[in-house]
Every structure is written in C-alpha cells, then in structure tokens.
Amino acid sequence: MNLGYIDRFAKSLIREAGHKIRISFYSQIDVESKAEANDLVTNIDKEVERFFIERIRENFPEHKIFGEEGFGDRIETLDGVVWLLDPIDGTMNFVHQKRNFAISLGIYQDGVGMLGYIYDVMADDFYHAVKGEGAYFNDERLPLLEVTPLEQAVIGINASWVVPNRRVEHEPLIELVAKCRGTRSYGSAAIELAYVASGRIDAYVSMRLAPWDIAGGMVIAQEVGAVTTNLRGETPHLLGTDTFIVARPGLHDDMLRHYIRLK
C-alpha cells in the first residue's frame, strides 16, 4: 500500500468534494428523512458519495468503499483496503445552518486505521493523520494531549442523553455536566472528534454512531494520544453502529468509570 500516493489522492479528492458542497448552496437542495424523522439526507450527500466512489474505483479498483449513503460496497469484513466515508457528517447542520458539517474519511487496511481525514467544509479546516506519523490541523502538527481533570474539562455531549432516554442512565450524566467546566454540542461527530484531537474540547461522547462517523477521526485522535472506545471500554466495532467516547487519557477512564451507565 503506497500510503503517500493514497494520501495525496485522498486530500485532493476531499478538497474537490468540499468545493462541490459549497457551490451546492447556489442550487436546489432536496431534503428527505431516513428511518427516523430527524435523520436527514439530501441529494448533495448522495451526489458527493457517488463522486468519491467513481474516483476511488477508477484509481484503486481493488479497494472497497463503505459509505453512509450505500452506493459503495457491501462490507462484511474489514479485510483488505477499505475506505469508510461520510460525504456529509452533520447533515442537519448542512440543512439548517449551512455550516458545522464535515467530510469524514478513514482508510483502513485489514482493520487498522492508516489514514484519517476530517474536512470542516465551511471553515476550510482540514484535519488529517497518517498512522505513526502524527496528526495535523491544516499544516500545523498537533501536539500530544495532556491530562486534564474533569473540573477543567469541556465535554462534547448532546443534551438528549442528559434527559431520560432509552440508552443510558441520565442521573450520572447530570452529575458529569454539573462537575465539568462546560459542555458543547456541535452536531457533527467528526467535528467533535477533530476538536478533541486539537484540544478545543476534552471529550466527546455519543450513544449511537456509525462506522463512517468515527473511522477517520479515530486515526487522527489516536495520533495525539486520545483514547477512543465504545462505552463498554472496547474498541468500537466498525461494521455497524456502536456507542462511542473519545477523550484525553485520564478523563476517558474517569468518565467511563463514574458517569456512564448503559441501560
């Protein structure tokens, strides 16, 4: 696997896709709901995924593609080289805010994350990492994360988990919210992962994420020493939805041990 070549190719593809998304605001955007009413998809999500798939297949016919919109391959194992792609992570933000959404891409070889990309399209902020070679925000190398106590931590969490819900006990989360320095919710898992990796927030937790939401961000987060697991403390499995937490080292342990109880 020629990582340098694939890295250059992936970067230019992502930038070109970002341009397509920005100019899409001058055309008609059709919004549909998926299975759940607040789970949105647009014609742009689909067009951008198709654009990626066409180009990847042209250049790397032996690689497989696992994309949110389902135009890629049927993926049952992570054997070989697999591109895990979310053409627009944060579609609700794309539709409602026209900002705070990202292209998220992870390239895995036999289940190991080799390359990771998160492109915050409207901010023009590009995060990427090559396994073993560090993570970057635009062209700046991101430093290793240091330990931060909960009292000084800003936690990325959606308010829906802090009210009664069917996935997690909300009482301990109320305590977490009360104890930490502050909370934020950006509405794009990829952007929240990029923010943890770049030290803008200290942790991000979610009860339900898909492989393409986290695949790219996990490669980036791991390069700066962030800990990424599901809420049972295991490696998130990348073939279906799972719970998810990414945090600075000590904080990860503290949050899982004391504040998160799955139902």
> Which residues of the chain form contacts with ligand 2AM (CB under 6 A)?
39, 68, 86, 89-91, 187-189, 208-210, 213, 241
86 binds Ca ion (CB under 5 A): yes
Dihedral over Cα of 99, 101, 196, 128: its sign: negative
Segment interacting with Ca ion (CB under 5 A) among 16-24, 78-86, 117-125, 222-230: 78-86
Nearest to 189 by CA among 156, 149, 219, 166: 156
What are the phi and psi torsion angles at 227 (to 5°)?
-100, 130
Out of Ca ion, ligand 2AM, none, which partner does residue 208 contact, by CB within 5 to 8 A per kind? ligand 2AM
Phi-psi region of 84 (alpha: psi -120 to 50; beta: other; left: phi over 0): beta
Under 8 Å between Cβ of 197 and 142: yes
Give the contact letters, 15-54, x = binds to Ca ion (CB under 5 A), - = no: ----------------------------------------
> Is the Cβ of residue 93 or residue 148 nearer to ligand 2AM in the bound state?
93
Among 40, 49, 65, 68, binds Ca ion (CB under 5 A): 68
Under 8 Å between Cβ of 64 and 177: no
Out of ligand 2AM, Ca ion, none, which partner does residue 209 contact, by CB within 5 to 8 A per kind? ligand 2AM
> Is the Cβ of residue 126 or residue 161 nearer to ligand 2AM in the bound state?
161
Shortest distance, CB of residue 104 to ligand 2AM, whole angstroms?
8
- Residue number closest to Ca ion, CB atom: 86
Report the distance separating Cα 109 and Cα 116, nearest Å. Answer: 12
> Is the Cβ of residue 29 or residue 162 nearer to Ca ion in the bound state?
29
Nearest to 87 by CA among 59, 114, 56: 56
Report the distance separating Cα 42 and Cα 29, nearest Å. Answer: 7
> Is the Cβ of residue 97 or residue 152 nearer to ligand 2AM in the bound state?
97
Q: Are strands 182-184 and 154-156 parallel, antiparallel or unpaired?
A: parallel
Query: What tokens appear for 179 in the block?
Result: 């104890």
Shortest distance, CB of residue 152 to ligand 2AM, whole angstroms?
25
Q: Which residues bind Ca ion (CB under 5 A)?
A: 68, 86, 88
